[in-house]
Structure 1
Amino acid sequence: MTSRTTFDKLIERHGRVEIPVIQRDYAQGRADQHIVRDDFLKSLHDALCLPREDPTLPLDLDFVYGSIVNGSFQPLDGQQRLTTLFLLHWYLAWVDGSSEDLRTRIVTSGRSRFSYEVRPSSRDFINAFANYIPVISAGECEDIAGMITDQPWYFRSWRFDPTIRAALSMLDRMHEVFRKTSGLYARLIDETAPAITFQLLDLEHFDLSDDLYIKMNARGKPLTPFETFKARFERHLENQFKDAPPDLCNGTPLADFFSHRIDTRWSDFFWPFRDKKTATFDDAMMNLLRAVIMVTRDPEAAATSLDLADIRSMARASSYTWFHDRGWLDQEMVLALITLLERWSAGAETFCRYLPDTRHLDEQALFQDILTKPTSLTFQQLAQLAGYAQFLVHSPGEIDSNAFDAWMRVVSNLATNTDYNRPEDLRRSFAGLRDLTPWMNDILNHLASSDGDVRGFSREQVAEERIKAHLIGFGDGWPERLDRAERHTYFRGQIGFLLRCCGLKLGEVDAEIERLDAATANELVEPFEHYLACASQMFDDLVKHPKGSGRLWESALLAVGDFLPNVGRNRSLLNTSSDEAWGWKRLLRNAAAGGRSSQVLKDLWDQLEDPGSYAADLGGVLESASEIDPWREAILATPSVYDYGTYRMMRFSEDGGIYLLRKTQMNGRHAELFTYCLYDSLASDMKPDGFSTSYYEATSTDDEPGLCFTRDFKGAEITFYLTLYQAPNQYQFYLAEPMTEEGDLQEALAEFGFEEDEDGYWTMFGELKQLRPRVEELAEALKEKDQKV
C-alpha cells in the first residue's frame, strides 16, 4: 500500500525504523559522493525555506520501499535518504534548541527508534548519537565531527566504520548549509503542511532481512537469494577459524578467501551449471549449501534428526537467518563447502573427478542432483555424499584414487543396502561413517580386523562387507571375483546371499573371519562361481524376460519350496521393479540373513548344471517336483496369478483362507486363490455348455469373493456362485438369482443334489476338487432341460 508521509510520521507510525544488516553502509555523506550529497542538501534547504503555502511544496523524495520485520520497519530502498533525514532532524533540532523535543520522538527507553543494524558499531553509534544533546549551541560550534568524536561515549575504534565516517562527514556539510537558518525544525516536523515527504510503499508479508527479492538501484535489479546470503555469510566467516584458517586457504583469512574465490574461480566453475534463463547460478549454489549442511550435521546431536527433516522439507533454498539461527553454518559445514568447491574446480575440465570410474559413485551425476533437486536426494544418496565429502575433507594433499575407490565401494554398498525410513536412520549412518574417519585410507584392513564393526547400517550388510574385505585380503582372484558379483546391476553390492550359499554365516562374522584362512577361501572358489553364475542368469532373466525365462525361474523356485517373504500381514510373490519389501532385493537380503529363502535358492541352484542347460534343468525341476503345497500347485498351474495385483501380495488369513490382493489390504479388491485359479481354467471351457464365467472381487472382509456362472434358462437369466465357505477347503456352490425358482429349474436343482438352506438359497457344499466336475455336470443338465419343449 502506498501513502505520502514524512520521516517523523514514519517513526510515529511504525515505532521503529531499522536499517537491516543486509543493507550496505551509509554512503551519502562520503567525500566521493559530494556532488549527490550537496545537490540533495540544497534541495532540502530550499524546500524548508519556502513559505508553507508555496505551491511547489512539498518536496517529494520519491518512493521508500520496506516492510515490517520483527516489529520494525525495514527499508528495502530509501536507506540513504532516510539516514540523511535522520541526521537532518538531529541537526535542525539542535540549531533551534529543540533537541529534547526530538528525543521524545526518536528515543524510547534510551534506545534510538531509528536503528542501524549493518554493523554493531553503526548501531551503537546511532543509539548514542540520538541521545546526545550538545552543551554548546550550533552557532558556537566550528567542528561538529570533532565535537562528537571528543565525547566520552565515542569509541576510537568507530573511526574505521564507514557508516559513522559518512554520517560525520554529512553533519559537517549540513553545518555549512544550515548553520545560519532558524525555525526549520518546525517546518521539518510540520504535519499539516509538510515541506519534505516521500511515498511509502509498505510491502506487507515481505521478509526483508532474509528474502530480499528487490534491490533498488538505477535499474531496479533484483538481489538474488545467494547474493543476500553471501553478504551476511562473508561476515559470519570472519569468526570462523579466526586463529588458524584451513590449510586450503593458504594463510588467507577465511572470509577474504571465500569472497575472492566466489567471485573468480568458483564462479567460473559454476558458470556451466547456470540457469540459462537468468544467467545466474545462485539457485545452484544455494542448493549445494543445503546439501552440504545436511551431510555435516553432528551425528551425535539429538537435534540432527529434526534438522535433516527441516532441510529436506524446504521447497526452495532458504535464507541466511534460517541457516544461522539453527547453528548450521558451523566449522564442519564451512570446511566441507570450501573443500568440495576447491576440489571440484581444481582441474581444467568442467568438473574434476577423483574416483577412477563411476562403479561405486557417479560423482558428476550426484553433483547435478544436488544442484537441481536437493530435497529429492534419497537417504542413500545423502549417506554416499557424507562419505564422499568426509574423504575429500579429511585427506589433505593429493587424493589416492585407489584408496578413495575402496572407501566409496564400502560406503556405497552400506548405504545402498540399508533401509532408511526416517531421518533418525540417516543420522545413525552419519555417526557410523564418522567413526571410520581414521581408517578411510585403509578401510578393507580395518573391516577385516576384530575392531571392524560399523554402526548405523544394515547389520547383514556390515557383516557382508567385513567378510568380503577378509577375502579380498587373500588375493588369489577374490578382488576381481567379488567385484564381478557386485557389479551385477540387480545386486548392487549386496551379495551376502552368495556367501551364505557357500556356507558362510554372516550372523557370526567374527568367528567366520577367524576361521576363514587362505586354504578355506580357496575351497570356496568353485561353489561361489557356480552360485554366481546361477544368480546372474536368474536375475538377468527375471529383469529382462519376466514372462518368459524369468517366469520359468519363478516357477521352479516355487516348486522347490515356499520362499515367499513376509511383508507385514502379507506374503509376496516378489517383483524386480522395486527395492521395497515386496521386491526380489528383499528376498536376497533375507537369504543373506539365513532365512528360509536361503535354503530354497541353494536347493534350486544345486540342481543346475551349467548356464547352457539351465532351461532344461529348470523344466526338469518342475516335472520332478513332489509334495508341493496345494496353494503352490495352484499358482504353478495358473501363471495369471503373477499378474493379478500391483504388488503381487497374498494374504494367508488366520482361518486358513488364501487371498490375492490387488494392492496391499483386504479392504481393497481381492480374490480367493483357488476359485480364481479355477476361474482362469474354466473361462473358455464353459461357454459350449451355455455358462459364461466371471469373477466377483470382494472389497471387504465381510464379503467373500468367488466365481460366477451365468446363463439363460427358459428365457430368464440365472446366476450361480462358487465361493469359499469354510477354510481351508470347504466351498459352497449356490444359486444366487433368481431367489424364487419354480418348475424345471427347481426340479433340476433338487435332482442334482442342491438343498435349500434357511436363507432360501439352493446350495451344495464340498471340496473344490469335488465341486468342479459337478459344475460341469450341472451345465450339461441345464443345457438339456433348456432345450426341451
Structure 2
Amino acid sequence: MQVFSLTTFLQTYKAVKVPMLQRDYAQGRKSQESTANAFLEVLFNTLQTGQDLHLDFIYGYKEQTCFIPIDGQQRLTTLWLLYFYCYKRANQLNGVRALLAKFTYATRLGSKDFCQNLIKKDFKLDDQTPSQTIKNMGGIIVGKDDSDNDPTVKAMLRMLDLIHVQYKECPNITLEHLECITFTVFDMEDFKLGEELYIKMNARGRQLSAYENLKAFMEAKQNIPASLLESIDNKWSDYFFEGKPNNLDNRGLCFLHYANVFFSLESSTREDISEAINPNKPINAFYAPLQELQHIQTLDHAMDLLVTHNAQGFFNINAAFFHLRTEEGRVEYGILEYKKIAYFFALLALAKHCPKPSQKAFQDYWRVCKHFIENHRLGDPTNLKSFGQLFNFIAPGAQDIYRFLDQHPTHSFHSDIYALEVRKARLILQDRQTKQGWEAILNATSDHEFLRGWVDFLLNFSDAHFDEKTPFSKNFNYNSPNLEKFQQYATLTMQIYNEDFLDQHFRLFQRAFLCVGNYSFYYTNFFYGNNPTQHFLDREAIHDLLEGSFNTGLPYFKTFLDKLSGAGDLEKKMRNFWGDYTKSNAFLQRGWWDQLLIKQKGLFEFVNAKKDIAPRSRRIAFEWHDSVMIRVFLCNGTKLFYSTALDLLGFGFYLYCQEKNITGLSPYINDNKEKNYPKSTHFKIHGKRVCADSQNKTIHIGKESYPIDLGNVFSSFDRVSKEAFDI
C-alpha cells in the first residue's frame, strides 16, 4: 500500500476511471450539503495552514495501466474538483491540465464529457457561481439535459459552488498545500483478492447493496435517455428513501426484483415461478428483462402512478408496501406476500398498457383488480403467473374497464369472479344512462371489509326470478336483479358483517340466523368461531354459507335478511326475531341440539373462544348409531377427541344449572367415555356425578336417573331440576 496526493496518484497511472458499476457522485447533492461543507472546511484548513490531512483508504484495482476505484470515489471526486477550482482560480490550470484530464467518470456519458470539457475548455471564473458561469456558456461544457438530469453532473456543479463559497471566505491559500492532502491506495489485485470483492466495496468499506448492484446492472446495457436516468436517481430514490438509507436498498430491490418476475412471465422459458419470486439471487442473466428499455420505461410509468394516485386515498400501495421482511441475524431478504405481488402485477400491467389513465379510470381499474385479488385463495405461487396474464389482458381497456369487460365477457382464469365482474360492469354501464344508483351501492360493497365486491349471492337474492325454495345450483344465471332489493340486502349484510357489530353481537347473530334453518356445513359443521373479515378462507367459507351452496342448499340467509327488513335498530330486530322464534311451535320441531344452540348462548361462547381461520376453528361433531343421532359434541378443534370435546347435551345442562344458580356446582368435566357412556361424568353437584345421556334420553344424577324428552329439551331440564333439586 502506498500513500499518495492526488498529483502523485494521477502521475502513477495512465488514467483513473470511476466505473459504470459505481454510484453517481453524491457529495455535492443538496441533501448532503451540511456534510459536504464540513468536509470542505477541513480541506481548506489544510490549504491555509499546510497541516497534513490523510483521507484514509482508497480501494481499487489496476486494469492494464488504469486504476479503477471501487471505494473512495466520492472523496477522489471532491478532491479533483478542489484541485481544478484552485488552479483555475489562480490562473495556473495549464500546468496541471493534462494531469487532471486523467480522471474521468464512466457512470454516464454526460458525466465523462463534463469532466473532459471542464479541463479542456477555456473560461474564466469570476464572482458568479461556477455553475451559473458554466451554464451561461450555452452547452460548450455541459448540455442542458445533462446539467438538469445527470445526477453526477448536477452534484459536481453544486460542489463547485460550495467550493466557491469556501474559497471566498479563505482567499489566502497556498496551492502547494494541496499536496498535504493524502490518501492510501489499497490495490486489491496485489493482495490476490477475487473480482467478486471489487463489486461489493463501497464508500467507507461497506458492501454495495443488492439494489445498487441491480440498478447498475439494469442501466449498463441500454443508452438510457438522460431524463429517464434523472427519474431513476431522484424520483425513484425519493419515493423509497423515506429518511432511511436502508429503506431505499430494501424497497428498491423489492421493486426491481418483482418487476423482473412480471416482465419475465411473458417468456415461456422462465423457470418455475415459485423459485423466481425469491429475491435472494445473484445478479446475472436472470435479470435480463430489466435491461430492456421498454421495461425500464414501464417502471418509470409505474412510479408516476404510485406518486400520482397514492395521494388520492384510494390506492393501497405506498413505499412501505415494497419492504421485504428480514429475520433478525440473517441478511437474506424475505419473499413478498403473494397478495402484494399480485397487486404489484396489476400496477405494472396498467403502467405497461395504459400509463396515463384518468383518476376515475384508474379507480375503476384498481377496483376490478382488487376484486380478482381479494377473492382468490392465492395459496400457490403458480397462480401469480395467471394473475399476470389476466392483468395484461384487461389493462389495455383500463380507460373504460367496464366497457372492456362488457365486450370481453369470458376469461379462463378465475372465471367465476370474472363473470361476476362482467355482470356488475353491465349494471354500471346501464347505470350511466339511467342514473339509478347501481354504481354507488356496488362500490360500497367493494369497499366493505367482508364483501369486497363478492356479491353474486346478493344479486341472485334480489332477482325477480329467484326461488328461495329451490336448492342452490351453480348453473343458474339470473339477469334481472332489483336495485331496491339489492340495496336492502347489501346494506343489511354490510351492517351484520361489520367488525364492531360482530364484536358485540356475534353470538346473537349466530343464534338468530340458526332460527331460520341449519346453516352450518353439515359435512364439516363450521359454526364460525372466527373473525370473518381477516382471512380469505373465512370469507370463502362464509360466502358459500350465505349463498346456500352447502348443507340443504337452501338460501337461509335471504330468508333471514327478509326477516330483518324495515326500519329500526338491527340488534333489536335480531333479538326480537330470535325471541319470537324460541316461543313458537317451529322451535320445538327442531332437533334437540338446534334447540340448545339457539337458546343457550354459552354454547356459542365455547365455539367462538378459539379465534382462528375457518379451517381451524372449533366444530360440532355428530355421532351416529344405526342412522340415529345419539350424541353431539362441541369439538375443541377440527377433529373429535373425546378427551377435550364437550358433550353438547351435558354442557347445555351444565349452563342451565349455572343460570338457575344451583349450589354445589363443580367446574365442567371433560370425561366422555367412548364405551359405557352412562358412566361418564360431565360435572358434579354437591359431589354427585351428573351425566346427560342423549343416547338413552336420560340425565343421571348420583344414583338416580331421570328420563327426558329431547323434543322439548328445556322443558325436560325444568322438570329434572325440580325433581332433583326442588327448583
Question: Following the alignment from structure 1 to structure 2, what is the Cα–Cα distance between the partners of residues 630 and 300?
Answer: 61
Shift of 1:423: 1.0
Asked if 1:319 corresponds to 2:306, the answer is no
Contact 2:354 2:396 (C-alpha < 8 Å) held by counterparts: no
Partner of 2:439: 479
Contact 2:450 2:532 (C-alpha < 8 Å) held by counterparts: no
Q: Supply the AA of the counterpart residue of 1:35.
A: Q
Shift of 1:634: 0.7
- Secondary structure at the counterpart of residue 296 of structure 1: helix
Asked if 1:465 corresponds to 2:421, the answer is yes
Shift of 1:33: 5.9
Contact 2:619 2:634 (C-alpha < 8 Å) held by counterparts: yes
Q: After superposition, give the CA deviation of every residue in 1:564-586 in whole Å (9 maximum; x if it has no partner).
A: 246x8342235434444773553
Q: Which runs of 5+ in 1 are unaligned?
A: 5-27, 39-64, 66-75, 86-117, 119-196, 239-252, 713-717, 736-748, 754-763, 782-789
Partner of 1:122: none
- Secondary structure at the counterpart of residue 209 of structure 1: helix
Contact 1:574 1:583 (C-alpha < 8 Å) held by counterparts: no
Partner of 1:632: 594
Question: Following the alignment from structure 2 to structure 1, what is the Cα–Cα distance between the partners of residues 262 and 517?
Answer: 44
Partner of 2:510: 554
Contact 1:570 1:652 (C-alpha < 8 Å) held by counterparts: yes
Asked if 1:330 corresponds to 2:289, the answer is yes
Shift of 1:681: 1.5
Contact 1:563 1:597 (C-alpha < 8 Å) held by counterparts: no
Partner of 2:201: 214
Question: Following the alignment from structure 1 to structure 2, what is the Cα–Cα distance between the partners of residues 529 and 265?
Answer: 47
Partner of 1:722: 691
Asked if 1:453 corresponds to 2:427, the answer is no
Contact 1:288 1:370 (C-alpha < 8 Å) held by counterparts: yes
Partner of 1:692: 665
Contact 1:384 1:415 (C-alpha < 8 Å) held by counterparts: yes
Contact 2:339 2:378 (C-alpha < 8 Å) held by counterparts: yes
Task: Within 5 Å, give how 1:483-494 maps onto structure 2.
Answer: 483-494=443-454
Asked if 1:573 corresponds to 2:528, the answer is yes
Shift of 1:561: 1.0
Asked if 1:80 corresponds to 2:62, the answer is yes
Contact 2:635 2:645 (C-alpha < 8 Å) held by counterparts: yes
Q: After superposition, give the CA deviation of every residue in 1:576-614 in whole Å (9 maximum; x if it has no partner).
A: 344447735532345447556761111112223413264
Q: After superposition, give the CA deviation of every residue in 1:717-748 in whole Å (9 maximum; x if it has no partner).
A: x552516574xx6567486xxxxxxxxxxxxx
Asked if 1:386 corresponds to 2:345, the answer is yes
Shift of 1:471: 1.0
Question: Following the alignment from structure 2 to structure 1, what is the Cα–Cα distance between the partners of residues 312 and 554?
Answer: 33
Shift of 1:264: 6.0
Q: Supply the AA of the counterpart residue of 1:662.
A: N
Shift of 1:682: 1.4
CA gap of 1:677–1:333, structure 2 versus 1, over 3 A, is farther
Question: Following the alignment from structure 1 to structure 2, what is the Cα–Cα distance between the partners of residues 337 and 420?
Answer: 28
CA gap of 1:343–1:711, structure 2 versus 1, over 3 A, is closer
Question: Following the alignment from structure 2 to structure 1, what is the Cα–Cα distance between the partners of residues 362 and 559?
Answer: 39
Asked if 1:671 corresponds to 2:646, the answer is yes
Contact 2:353 2:396 (C-alpha < 8 Å) held by counterparts: no
Asked if 1:35 corresponds to 2:22, the answer is no
CA gap of 1:289–1:703, structure 2 versus 1, over 3 A, is farther
- Secondary structure at the counterpart of residue 260 of structure 2: helix
Question: Following the alignment from structure 1 to structure 2, what is the Cα–Cα distance between the partners of residues 725 and 734?
Answer: 14
Question: Following the alignment from structure 1 to structure 2, what is the Cα–Cα distance between the partners of residues 214 and 472?
Answer: 57
CA gap of 1:582–1:473, structure 2 versus 1, over 3 A, is closer
CA gap of 1:429–1:598, structure 2 versus 1, over 3 A, is farther
> Residue 455 of structure 2 is aligned with which of 465, 489, 495?
495
Question: Following the alignment from structure 2 to structure 1, what is the Cα–Cα distance between the partners of residues 537 and 253?
Answer: 37
Contact 1:635 1:641 (C-alpha < 8 Å) held by counterparts: yes
Partner of 2:136: none
Contact 2:647 2:672 (C-alpha < 8 Å) held by counterparts: no
CA gap of 1:281–1:488, structure 2 versus 1, over 3 A, is closer
Asked if 1:526 corresponds to 2:511, the answer is no
CA gap of 1:81–1:579, structure 2 versus 1, over 3 A, is closer
CA gap of 1:683–1:82, structure 2 versus 1, over 3 A, is farther
Contact 2:650 2:682 (C-alpha < 8 Å) held by counterparts: no
> Residue 267 of structure 1 is aligned with which of 234, 241, 249?
234
Instruction: Calculate the aligned-residue CA RMSD, in Å.
Output: 4.6
Question: Following the alignment from structure 1 to structure 2, what is the Cα–Cα distance between the partners of residues 279 and 378?
Answer: 20
Choose 1 or 2 for highest CA Rg: 1
Contact 2:324 2:336 (C-alpha < 8 Å) held by counterparts: no
Q: Supply the AA of the counterpart residue of 1:391.
A: L
Partner of 2:116: none
CA gap of 1:571–1:223, structure 2 versus 1, over 3 A, is closer
Q: Which runs of 5+ in 2 are unaligned?
A: 15-56, 68-105, 107-186, 326-332, 467-471
Shift of 1:279: 7.1
Matched pairs, number:
523
Q: Supply the AA of the counterpart residue of 2:439.
A: P
Shift of 1:210: 8.5
Q: Supply the AA of the counterpart residue of 2:322.
A: I
> Residue 586 of structure 1 is aligned with which of 514, 537, 541?
541
CA gap of 1:581–1:224, structure 2 versus 1, over 3 A, is closer
Shift of 1:413: 1.0
Q: With structure 1 as the length reference, what TM-score do the two structures score?
A: 0.56
User: Identity over aligned residues, as a percent?
Assistant: 14
Task: Within 5 Å, give how 1:699-714 maps onto structure 2.
Answer: 708-710=682-684
Partner of 1:362: 316
- Secondary structure at the counterpart of residue 695 of structure 1: coil
Q: With structure 2 as the length reference, what TM-score do the two structures score?
A: 0.61
Partner of 2:373: 415
- Secondary structure at the counterpart of residue 572 of structure 1: coil
Q: After superposition, give the CA deviation of every residue in 1:645-703 in whole Å (9 maximum; x if it has no partner).
A: 41452233352433223333334832122212211121364743xx3222223699899
Partner of 1:400: 358
CA gap of 1:580–1:633, structure 2 versus 1, over 3 A, is farther
